[in-house]
């Protein structure tokens, strides 16, 4: 529980050193988002020549701590208890905050998964510091040790640069998929410390009754995505999108307005309020390219835009632009791909 | 023992309507200044979640926002849908507050009420989209927290909530006092009724200043916010060549994508 008072900055910020990375996990494994954040932390640590400190909390954390070290943490602190096999807001906040008080990191970055965002928001209040959510860029200024956190402003085609100059640690989250994975080095040396935790009853008031894994496909792991926007005109357009996606062994995505209209489930929504994807191929059909959507797909390897408007914003983020009605263009793709499949069959 | 009515508080924020944005003809940027205001969509779901508990249990629902007086009609709208009471925290000193002082101020108002069992908030706002205030309030008032929830029920001092996570649905049970943040679209918000609207007009809105909730003016506002917006930058552009492809050249494009391994054509 945080004290009811204003956020007091520390008198001497120079005592705060190092980049702390909270390592989000699921079923005993670090999440992709956690790996991404190790990469971000590692880069900043190299820039300011300070350690990258990983914190992992769970039931059994040893192999996750090793994983974090091999991906780039210099020091990894693991907190272990049978009561911590799944995320619980209060004890996780207690542990992460205690690590902040103990290690005094200059920067604390947290994967922007739902549990990570929950944890970061509480921890920022507990440690009386500033937090910037959904950063697209996270960097540090070596001269000042100041965190540069940039996040998009929706509705406007701008990004805000947000700083937390007086309070420590300077905190940020980023949505999963925002960054590339760092390199893995089996031989990397790092310091590991596993601590057993005894939790008090009042830390465990939250009871997890059940967990049902979500069925359906996870569009963030698809190599090929075909997405439809309002240019589809109606819910039936999705059939064409799905057909093209499935012929390439990929999945389909949609924009926020399409999900808002109920034409497709939210799990398939690409963008700031949906998923951030980075497939090998992204086909944007009937999508104008609002920042809200661009954020979710701009790091795809190859982007093809299919749009009636040759100057639609999406074309600026596309490698190839096909000007035309998606109902005329996508069937050409489908036919051509079918032909090639048949040829493969014959061979 | 006398069973007291539950006290549910719903936090709302008035935001610009994201659907109504206009392209500025001179700068080609999107302009929100002409947009009308709405209740943040997730907050409408939060209100509905609270009202559904009130349908089942003896409960009082208070809707609260921290905003200038322009938010009053939106609080009235919430009462017209079934909230019993509306509180507007309005004070010039809060202008420019980031999520820390905002959470602190809201938490102070909840503490002043003294008897709050469950606080409902939207998972995030559609304008700034941080989702920090709900968890921040939980931290300040020392409540349990169930974030990103849909389907919330109450029984004998416990809240059960389904948290929708990236990889599954987690059902949690937490004792009150509790904070729950509610997912956008997780329910179907009810409409206002004329009768409730008339009642709401009779009751009016309670306005509190910072002094009313014992928050010193220098604890809030831009100066007491840990984060500052340093500058605005153009939205990053990924330089892509945007090569125009005629419809007739699509087969060629596909060939190239297959050759470079971007598309894999497997036999059926």
In this prediction the pTM is 0.91
Is the pLDDT at B35 greater than 50? The verdict is yes
CA-to-CA separations, B100 to A101, B49, B55, in angstroms, rounded: 18, 25, 33
In whole angstroms, give the CA distance from residue B145 to residue B154: 14
Annotated domain spans of chain A? 13-203, 219-346
Of A161, A280, A310, Cβ closest to residue B233: A161
Distance CA A55, CA A94 (A): 13
- Tell me the backbone φ, ψ of residue B5, rounded to 5 degrees: -65, 145
How far is it, in rounded angstroms, from Cα A65 to Cα A80?
A: 11
C-alpha to C-alpha distance for A229 and A252, rounded to whole angstroms: 11
Question: At a CB cut-off of 8 Å and minimum separation 6, what does B164 contact?
Answer: A114, B148, B149, B150, B183, B186
pLDDT in tens, B189-244: 999 999 999 999 999 999 999 999 999 999 999 999 999 999 888 877 767 889 99
- In CATH terms, is domain A13-203 a member of 3.40.50.620? yes
Biggest CA-to-CA distance, chain A: 75
CATH number of the structural domain B6-224: 3.40.50.620
Burial class (CB in 10 A: 0-12, 13-18, 19+), A291: buried
Task: Give the DSSP H/E element, type plus range, for residue B158.
Answer: strand B158-164
Distance from CA of B230 to the nearest CA of A (A): 5
Q: Closest Cα partner for A120 from A34, A14, A8?
A: A34
Calpha distance A91→A122 (Å, rounded)? 11
A206: nearest CB among B144, B258, B266: B144
% pLDDT > 90, chain B: 78
Closest CA to A273 of A112, A116, A139: A112
Query: In this complex, do B244 and A340 lie within 8 Å of one another by their Cβ atoms?
Result: no
Calpha distance A289→B75 (Å, rounded): 34
* C-alpha span between B13 and B80 (Å, rounded): 17
Residue of A261, A320, A327, A341 to mutate, interface with B, max B Cβ within 10 Å: A320
Which tops the pLDDT comparison, A266 or A61? A61
Residue A270: pLDDT over 90: yes
Q: Give the number of other Cβ atoms within 10 Å of residue B164's Cβ.
A: 20
Query: Looking at the predicted structure, is the pLDDT value of residue B63 above 70?
Result: yes
Residues B158, B177: Cα–Cα separation, whole Å: 9
CA distance A19 to B72: 44
Backbone angles phi, psi at B39, to 5 degrees: -75, 135
Residue of B nearest to A342 (CA): B267
**Contacts with B135 from chain A: Cβ below 8 Å:** 89, 117-118, 121-122, 125
- Partner A contacted by B121 (CB < 8 A): no
User: Whole-angstrom Cα distance, residue A326 to residue A239?
Assistant: 12
Q: Summarize pLDDT for A141-184 with one digit per residue, the tens.
A: 999 999 999 998 765 678 899 999 999 999 999 999 999 999 99
Task: Please provide the DSSP assignment of A229-293 as one string.
Answer: -GGG-STTHHHHHHHHHHHTT-EEEE-HHHHHTTSS-GGGBBSTTSB----SEEEEES----HHH
**Which residues numbered 205-264 in B keep a CB inside 8 Å of some CB on A?**
216, 218-220, 224-238, 240-247, 250-251, 253-254, 257-258, 261-264
Query: HEC states along B105-126?
Result: HHHHHHHHHCCCCEEEEECCCC
* Coil vs helix vs strand at A64: helix
pLDDT value at B28 more than 50: no
SS3 category, B178? strand
Q: Strand locations in chain A, DSSP E?
A: 19-23, 25-26, 29-30, 52-58, 75-80, 107-111, 131-132, 137-141, 146-153, 158-163, 170-174, 191-196, 207-213, 224-228, 251-254, 281-285, 302-307, 320-323
Measure the CA–CA gap between A279 and A299, rounded to whole angstroms: 8
Q: What is the pLDDT of residues A228-243, one digit of tens each?
A: 999 999 999 999 999 9
d(CA B187, CA B78): 16
A215 touches chain B (CB under 8 A): no
Interface membership of B98 toward A (CB under 8 Å): yes
Q: Are A169 and A106 in contact (CB under 8 A)?
A: yes
- Cβ neighbours of B265 (radius 10 Å): 20
Confidence band of B42 (pLDDT split at 50, 70, 90): very high
Window A:60-79, CB contacts with B under 8 Å:
none
Task: Decide if B189 contacts B81 (C-beta within 8 A).
Answer: yes
Q: What is the pLDDT of residue A125?
A: 98
Q: Could you tell me the maximum CA-CA distance found in chain B, to the nearest angstrom?
A: 80
pLDDT in tens, A308-329: 999 999 999 999 999 999 999 9
Question: Which CATH superfamily groups domain A219-346?
Answer: TPP-binding domain (3.40.50.1220)
DSSP code per residue over B52-98: HHHHHS-EEEEEEEES-GGGHHHHHHHHHHT-SEEEEE--GGGTT--
Q: What is the mean pLDDT of chain A?
A: 94
């Amino acid at each position: 529980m945080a004290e009811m008072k204003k956020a007091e900055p520390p008198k001497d910020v120079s005592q705060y050193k190092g980049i702390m990375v909270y390592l989000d996990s699921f079923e005993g494994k670090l999440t992709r988002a956690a790996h991404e954040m190790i990469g971000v932390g590692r880069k900043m640590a190299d820039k300011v020549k300070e350690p990258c400190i990983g914190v992992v909390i769970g039931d059994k954390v040893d192999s996750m701590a090793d994983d974090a070290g091999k991906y780039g943490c210099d020091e990894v602190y693991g907190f272990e208890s049978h009561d911590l096999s799944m995320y619980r807001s209060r004890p996780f906040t207690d542990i992460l905050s205690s690590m902040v008080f103990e290690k005094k990191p200059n920067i604390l970055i947290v994967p922007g998964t739902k549990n990570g965002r929950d944890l970061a928001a509480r921890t920022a209040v507990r440690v009386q510091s500033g937090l910037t959510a959904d950063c697209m860029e996270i960097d540090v200024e070596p001269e000042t040790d100041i965190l540069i956190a940039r996040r998009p402003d929706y509705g406007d085609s701008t990004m805000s640069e947000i700083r937390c100059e007086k309070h420590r640690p300077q905190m940020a989250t980023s949505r999963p998929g925002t960054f590339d994975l760092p390199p893995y080095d089996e031989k990397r040396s790092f310091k590991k410390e596993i601590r057993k935790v005894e939790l008090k009853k009042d830390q465990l008031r939250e009871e997890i009754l059940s967990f049902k894994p979500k069925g359906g496909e996870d569009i963030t792991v698809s190599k090929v995505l075909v997405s439809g926007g309002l240019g589809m005109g109606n819910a039936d357009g999705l059939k064409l999108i799905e057909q093209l996606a499935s012929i390439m062994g990929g999945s389909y995505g949609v924009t926020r307005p399409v999900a808002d209209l109920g034409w497709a489930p939210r799990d398939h929504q690409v963008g700031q309020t949906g998923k951030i994807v980075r497939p090998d191929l992204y086909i944007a059909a009937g999508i104008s390219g609002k920042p809200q959507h661009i954020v979710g797909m701009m790091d795809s390897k190859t982007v093809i835009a299919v749009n009636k408007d040759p100057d639609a914003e999406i074309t600026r983020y596309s490698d190839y632009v096909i000007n035309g009605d998606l109902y005329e263009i996508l069937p050409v793709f489908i036919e051509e791909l079918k032909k090639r499949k048949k040829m493969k069959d014959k061979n | 023992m006398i069973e007291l009515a539950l006290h549910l508080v719903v936090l709302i924020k008035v935001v610009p309507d994201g659907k109504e944005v206009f392209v500025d003809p001179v700068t080609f940027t999107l302009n929100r200044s002409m947009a009308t205001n709405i209740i943040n969509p997730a907050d409408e779901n939060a209100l509905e979640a609270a009202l559904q508990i009130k349908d089942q249990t003896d409960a009082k629902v208070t809707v609260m926002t921290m905003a200038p007086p322009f938010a009053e009609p939106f609080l009235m709208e919430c009462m017209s849908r079934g909230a019993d009471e509306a509180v507007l925290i309005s004070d010039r000193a809060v202008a420019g507050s980031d999520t820390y002082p905002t959470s602190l101020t809201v938490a102070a108002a909840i503490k002043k009420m003294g008897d709050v069992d469950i606080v409902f908030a939207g998972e995030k706002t559609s304008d700034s989209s941080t989702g920090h205030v709900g968890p921040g309030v939980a931290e300040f008032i020392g409540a349990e927290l169930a974030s990103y929830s849909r389907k919330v029920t109450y029984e004998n001092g416990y809240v059960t909530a389904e948290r929708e996570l990236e990889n599954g649905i987690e059902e949690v049970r937490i004792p009150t006092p509790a904070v729950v943040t509610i997912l956008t679209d997780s329910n179907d918000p009810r409409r206002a009724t004329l009768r409730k609207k008339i009642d709401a007009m009779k009751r009016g809105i309670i306005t509190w200043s910072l002094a009313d909730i014992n928050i010193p003016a220098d604890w809030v506002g831009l100066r007491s916010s840990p984060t500052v917006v340093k500058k605005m930058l153009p939205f990053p552009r990924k330089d892509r060549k945007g090569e125009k492809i005629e419809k007739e050249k699509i087969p060629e494009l596909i060939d190239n994508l297959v050759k470079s391994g971007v598309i894999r054509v497997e036999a059926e």
